[in-house]
A and B are shown apart, each in its own frame.
Chain A
Amino acid sequence: MDLKSLRIQRRRQFWGEIVPYLGYVMQSGVAVLLLFMFIAFSAWYTSLVQHIPEGLPIRWIMLVLLLPLIVRSSVRTYLRSPDIVFLLPQESKMKEYLSGSWVSGVLYKFIGLALVFLTAWPLYVRSDTAPKSFWTFLLLLCILKIISSYGGWKELSMVSLRAAKGYHLLRWAVMALALSAWLWEPVGKSLIYVLLVIATYLFALSYPVKHLVAWERLIAKEESQVGRVMLVLGWFVNVPEQQQRVYPRRIFSRAGNRIVWKPIAAYKYLLTKSFVRSDILGIMLRAGVLGFLLVWWTRGTMLGSGIYLFFLFLIGVQLSSLQRYHKESFWLSIYPIPANSRQRNVTSFVFQVHLIVAVILWLPLLRDGWVHISLTFSTLALGIVMSCIVRVILSRKGNKEDNDDE
């Protein structure tokens, strides 16, 4: 079997399924929204570059912008569960199959990293007291990205899950140290330091016991990545339900336990449990923290209110995707759950969470006390209105889908 062609064929098949949805995504108004956001960002960024604030912590900004893009690595393998049976006999030749996946994974991620770097470059070069040269900086990013992706790949092959988690943390630390040294120290000194750190890291990577091919972990990873693609598409169009990655998050294990003990609220219980262990909560928390910091930073200005509403909108879109959860669940058609309670539960759950987020995101605006009182409270009022609009849209969409199903 030609394993290289098999991977190419699977990749083509996957994109063949995804591409038709992209047209619908564009029609859903996202193209206009993206264009608007791009224009607004360009205007804001141009103004920022022209009037750089005194003492802008540019090295910290570069570190925060670039580090996650260097460390985050994912590889699309297109592996499936039956491969454990049918491709296992060819395990020794799987390098042929997987090398293409790894190269594409590094290449596309590096393009993303380079684009962010290019965008941030004018700000960096104008505000840093001793900026590094463009090409050496880009070359260093390229090297760090390759090393990080290699490390990420080795983590996937490690036999011990605990070791894989430890090495994941180590990778974050190594990349943070290397990038910080590059940003804060002179070129010569930092390069020696980066080389030493990387050499030690590569040496450490050779220690843990690894699978030749970590079949189960790669398949689970692939499933979760397909789930994420479908999750994003699901914000705009109806796509088939995919199994999402599950995060244990023991800290939230009691969430939903106090929901009223009645069949009419049974679905809310299920939804709460699914939500706290889903990708959606993770994405929402990250967006929430970023939004909170930006609102804090720009509080007392119209821009601050705009950022507040933007992040609230973004989180509303995220939460709305809960409507697709368990839509095709077997047990919901067997269990005696009252008709329409699923839709009502989803709408009320999304509204409640969105409202809580609206208040939390608004808190940084209170820091200015009574100075911008009218702006502060009108921003909150707009936030609450936005939550209500999301609720109405969700409810109408649900009713329409229920009617279509009937």
Chain B
Amino acid sequence: MSDTPVLEIQGLTGGYSLNRPVLHDVNFQVGTGEMIGLIGLNGAGKSTTMKHILGLMTPQKGDIRVKGKKREEDSETYHSALAFVPESPLLYEEMTVREHLEFTARAYGVSKEDFEERSGKLSALFRMEDKMDSLSIHLSKGMKQKVMIMCAFVARPSLYIIDEPFLGLDPLGIRSLLDFMVELKAGGASILLSSHILSTIENYCDRFIVMHQGIIIAHGTLQQIAEQAGKPGAPLEELFYTLVQGRI
């Protein structure tokens, strides 16, 4: 693991209005080859945190660094180091699945040979071979979500920001996604993953960040979270329930 974290968030305060920030002094890091689970109730600030990382929102206070660089310093390098999978698929209706992957590969500067190899592998993994030349408008919601995931994976950046990726995916799709994330992680990629399916991510994430009302209320490995919740050995779902119960 290298010394410089892939993602470093320091003292992040931000939101849609200056008077009412959603996030309050958020601090965390994602190291090389780490998979971090960002968990919290609806409105806890998970998506707002992700939007700040993606540069869609500007922090009111604090810094966000991807591979040691702030977005203001070098926007292109910053963005080329991360890929995003949104909660709801956002596709160009006029493009086919293959064209989405190709557009992503071109934008990220992936070579044509790597693109061919990766897109072939991803289409097989997500069982989308016969849909590669279909316009996205003709895909089901689950298939659209697969395209989003495939686009992120074809780029192969250092950091993946993945927001609720399991919504709409069939059980085989969820399994393929988890297996591929493990493979990427083993290859040195870092993943920040937000999900409500705690039982699924419990066994895959190295660390967890529990957010509540814009504040990090617990963070660390499953064991560390269990200690903070005072319930050693309990599953993540129960720990989460214990941590937020008294704060609702």
Contact = CB atoms under 8 A, between A and B. Distances in A.
Contact of B93 (A243, A265, A270, A336): A243
B135 A270 contact: no
A377 to B, nearest CB: 38
Contact of B55 (A244, A262, A331, A333): A333
Contacts of B197: none
Nearest to B104: A335
Contacts of B186: none
Contact of B135 (A248, A263, A334, A335): A248
B78 to A, nearest CB: 8
Contacts of B109: 262-263, 336
B180 interface: no
A252 B212 CA distance: 51
Interface in A117-175: none
A341 to B, nearest CB: 10
Most chain B CB inside 10 Å of its own CB: which residue of A262, A270, A274: A270
A277 B106 CA distance: 20
B94 interface: yes
Contacts of A246: 93-94, 135, 137
B79 interface: yes
A266 B106 contact: yes
Nearest to B79: A336
Given A262-B106, A263-B108, A269-B106, A334 B79 contact: yes
Contacts of A331: 90
Interface stretch (B29-37, B95-103, B217-225, B231-239): B95-103
B92 A270 contact: yes
B138 to A, nearest CB: 9
Nearest to B90: A330
Contact of B76 (A253, A329, A338): A338
A335 B104 CA distance: 8
B92 A266 contact: no
Contacts of A262: 106, 109
B242 interface: no
Interface string A240-278: 000110101000010000000111011001100110011
B95 A273 contact: yes
A331 B108 CA distance: 12
Most chain B CB inside 10 Å of its own CB: which residue of A253, A326, A337: A337
B56 interface: yes
Contact of B103 (A266, A338, A339): A266
Contacts of A253: 96, 133
A265 B107 CA distance: 8
B122 to A, nearest CB: 18
B107 A266 contact: yes
B80 interface: yes
B13 to A, nearest CB: 22
Given A273-B99, A334-B84, A263 B54 contact: no
A350 B112 CA distance: 26
Contacts of B135: 246, 248, 277
A335 B79 contact: yes
Q: Per DSSP, are chain A's interface residues mostly helix, strand or loop, or mixed?
A: loop
Interface string B63-79: 00000000000011111
Most chain B CB inside 10 Å of its own CB: which residue of A246, A326, A330, A334: A334
Interface string A328-358: 0111011111110000000000000000000
Contact of A263 (B78, B90, B96, B106): B106
A339 B75 contact: yes
B80 A336 contact: yes
A265 B54 CA distance: 22
A90 B75 CA distance: 51
A261 to B, nearest CB: 5
A263 B95 contact: no
Nearest to A265: B106
A244 B92 CA distance: 11
A278 B94 contact: yes
A16 B25 CA distance: 44
A337 B94 contact: no
A270 B79 contact: no
A270 B96 CA distance: 11
A265 B133 CA distance: 22
A236 to B, nearest CB: 24
Contacts of A336: 75-80, 107-109
Contacts of B90: 330-331
B107 A263 contact: yes
Interface in B105-136: 106-109, 111-112, 133, 135
A270 B103 contact: yes
A248 B138 CA distance: 11
Contacts of A248: 135
B188 to A, nearest CB: 19
Most chain B CB inside 10 Å of its own CB: which residue of A246, A265, A330, A335: A335
Interface in B187-240: none
Contacts of B77: 336
Contacts of A244: 94
Contact of A273 (B76, B94, B104, B111): B94
Nearest to B161: A334
Interface of A: 243-244, 246, 248, 253, 261-263, 265-266, 269-270, 273-274, 277-278, 326, 329-331, 333-339
24 contacts: A243-B93, A246-B135, A248-B135, A253-B96, A262-B106, A263-B106, A263-B108, A265-B106, A266-B106, A269-B102, A269-B106, A270-B92, A270-B95, A270-B103, A273-B95, A274-B94, A277-B94, A330-B86, A331-B90, A334-B79, A336-B75, A336-B78, A336-B107, A338-B76
By Cβ-Cβ distance, the 5 closest A-B pairs, closest first, are: A336-B80, A336-B79, A266-B106, A335-B107, A277-B94
Given A273-B99, A273-B103, A338-B76, 13 more contacts: A246-B93, A246-B94, A253-B96, A262-B106, A263-B109, A266-B106, A270-B92, A270-B95, A277-B135, A333-B56, A336-B77, A336-B108, A339-B76
